[in-house]
Amino acid sequence: MKDAFFNSFKLSFKSIILFSLSGIFAGLLGMLTCYSALKSLPSSVVVPLCSVYPLGSALLGMLLLSEVFSWLRLLGVILIIIGVWLVR
pLDDT in tens, 33-58: 888 999 999 988 888 888 777 778 88
* Percent of the chain whose predicted confidence (pLDDT) is above 70: 89
Whether this prediction's pTM lies above 0.85 is answered by no
Structural domain of residue 13, as residue ranges?
1-40
Q: Check whether residue 86 and residue 46 sit in a common domain.
A: yes
* Cα–Cα dist 88/70, whole Å: 27
pLDDT of residue 39: 93
Q: What are the residues whose beta carbons fall under 8 Å from the beta carbon of 83, sequence distance 6 or more?
A: 51
Domains: count for the chain:
2
**pLDDT exceeds cutoff 70 at 2:** no
Q: Check whether residue 53 and residue 36 sit in a common domain.
A: no
Q: Check whether residue 16 and residue 56 sit in a common domain.
A: no
Q: Check whether residue 32 and residue 46 sit in a common domain.
A: no
Q: How far is CA 22 from CA 18, 31, 35, 46, 87, in A?
A: 6, 14, 20, 24, 31
**Mean pLDDT of all residues belonging to the chain:** 81
